[in-house]
């Protein structure tokens, strides 16, 4: 077997192993959550007999091992279960919510990735000068603040004071693309601020790492413009670590949107998860957690594979 193919198979197998391990962690974590969904459904005035009957109907009295394998068996068949609080099919409910989250993450990535690369190039071009220091200070300040702080500040300035965009990001299928983009403007801005610094700093560091190479010096001696040297010669050779960090931040855009969705009441996966955590709806929490884990592991594995394919030293480890 070719060494590269063997390495790719190993990475994919590791991703599947991590996904299996995450199912165990998710199941154990949700099993030890405080509270009782039966009590949440029937209320505080429910009798012990009524609570016991409802727990039996929901299968909550079965051993944990039996419930775990029943859950895994359903997942392998494409069935994420049924919500305990309203009896809705979790697969159908999560499908629409996941689509909304991916829509938000997509537009945040469309803005943040090119902007991060552009700012990284500008920082390298004006290294240790005012533009570089200003870009670094602003991006590091934004990444140091919690998402909800940035969200409330942006909401106050753009939605309350200037009234440019709505403060609540509600979307539905009947809205046009322009209306949807206007509705998600605030959460997109917050997500861009959150992921921009990491990608920009990695872009800057990766380009600086190759700027001392002999071919860069040759290009400069030819009299090429500084930006042209960076974009045409340094950036392509620094692509591997940049692509890697971009993929990791794309994973965060999908998985880390919980706080942002709650702040702006956005009908995505994060809001759906928080709503059902408060109701102690364990099957929904497990399904949402599994999807988040799967997306994160998938994108991390993709980043690992891209790094292998784009780096000759990894493609030929010997």
Nearest to 124 by CA among 190, 178, 202: 202
Would you state the pLDDT for residue 186? 92
The domain made up of 90-315 is a member of CATH 1.10.3720.10: yes
| Residues 101, 161: Cα–Cα separation, whole Å | 27
Distance in angstroms (rounded) separating the CA atoms of residues 60 and 56: 6
CB-based contacts of 279, cutoff 8 Å, min separation 6 = 37, 40, 85
Specify whether the CB–CB gap between 15 and 297 falls below 8 A.
yes
Angstrom distances, CA of residue 248 to CA of 94, 113, 201, 210? 23, 12, 14, 22
Q: How many CB atoms lie within 10 A of CB 106?
A: 13
Model confidence, pTM: 0.80
Q: What is the pLDDT of residue 148?
A: 86
Look at residue 231 in the predicted model and tell me its pLDDT: 78
Give mean pLDDT in consecutive 10-residue pieces for the chain, a chain of 318 residues. 74 87 86 67 71 71 80 83 78 86 91 90 87 88 85 90 87 87 91 87 85 74 73 76 82 82 88 81 84 86 76 58
Q: Which residues contact 91 (CB under 8 A, 6 or more apart)?
A: 78, 79, 80, 287
Question: If we measure between CA atoms, which residue out of 258, 281, 295 comes closest to residue 22?
Answer: 295
- What was the pLDDT predicted at 36? 64
281's CB contacts (< 8 A; 6+ apart) are: 37, 83, 84, 85
Question: CA 21 → CA 1, 58, 150, 293, distances in Å?
Answer: 28, 25, 34, 10
Angle of CA points 107, 268, 182, to nearest 5°: 45
Tokens of residue 27, six digits: 């199941």
* Cα distances (Å, whole numbers) of residue 209 to 99, 127, 254: 38, 13, 30
What are the distances in angstroms from CA 168 to CA 73, 98, 179? Answer: 39, 19, 13
Give the pLDDT of residue 110: 92
Cβ neighbours around 88 below 10 Å, total: 13
Q: Give the E-state strand segments of 63-221 in sequence order.
A: none
- Cβ-based burial of 150 (10 A; exposed 0-12, middle 13-18, buried ≥19): buried
User: Counting every residue, how long is the chain?
Assistant: 318
Q: What pLDDT does 247 receive?
A: 82
Distance CA 264, CA 266 (A): 5
What does the pLDDT read at residue 58? 66
Domain boundaries, the chain: 90-315
Q: What is the pLDDT of residue 75?
A: 84
């Amino acid at each position: 077997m070719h060494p590269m193919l063997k390495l790719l198979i190993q990475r994919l197998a590791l991703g599947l192993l991590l996904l299996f391990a995450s199912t165990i962690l998710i199941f154990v974590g949700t099993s030890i959550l405080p509270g009782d969904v039966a009590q949440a459904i029937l209320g505080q005035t429910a009798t012990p007999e009524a609570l016991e009957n409802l727990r039996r109907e929901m299968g909550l009295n079965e051993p944990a091992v039996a419930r775990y394998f029943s859950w895994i068996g359903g997942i392998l068949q494409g069935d994420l279960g049924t919500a305990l609080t309203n009896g809705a099919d979790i697969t159908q409910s999560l499908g629409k919510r996941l689509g909304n989250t991916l829509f938000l993450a997509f537009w945040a990535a469309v803005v943040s990735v090119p902007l991060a690369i552009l700012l990284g190039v500008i920082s390298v071009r004006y290294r240790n000068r005012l533009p570089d220091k200003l870009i670094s200070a602003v991006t590091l300040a934004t990444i140091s603040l919690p998402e909800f702080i940035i969200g409330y500040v942006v909401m106050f300035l753009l939605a309350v004071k200037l009234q440019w965009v709505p403060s609540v990001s509600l979307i539905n299928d009947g809205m046009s693309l322009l209306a949807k983009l206007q509705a998600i403007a605030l959460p997109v801005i917050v997500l861009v601020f959150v992921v921009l610094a990491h990608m920009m700093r990695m872009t800057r560091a990766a380009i600086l790492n190759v700027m001392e190479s002999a071919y860069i010096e040759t290009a400069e001696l030819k009299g090429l413009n500084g930006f042209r040297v960076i974009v045409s010669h340094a950036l392509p050779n620094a692509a591997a670590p940049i692509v890697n960090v971009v993929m990791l931040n794309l994973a965060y855009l999908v998985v880390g949107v919980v706080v942002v969705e709650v702040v702006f009441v956005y009908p995505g996966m994060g809001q759906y998860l928080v709503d059902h955590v408060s109701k102690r709806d364990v099957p929904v929490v497990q399904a949402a957690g599994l999807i988040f884990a799967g997306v994160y592991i998938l994108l991390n594995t993709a980043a690992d594979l891209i790094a292998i394919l784009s780096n000759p030293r990894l493609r030929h480890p010997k």
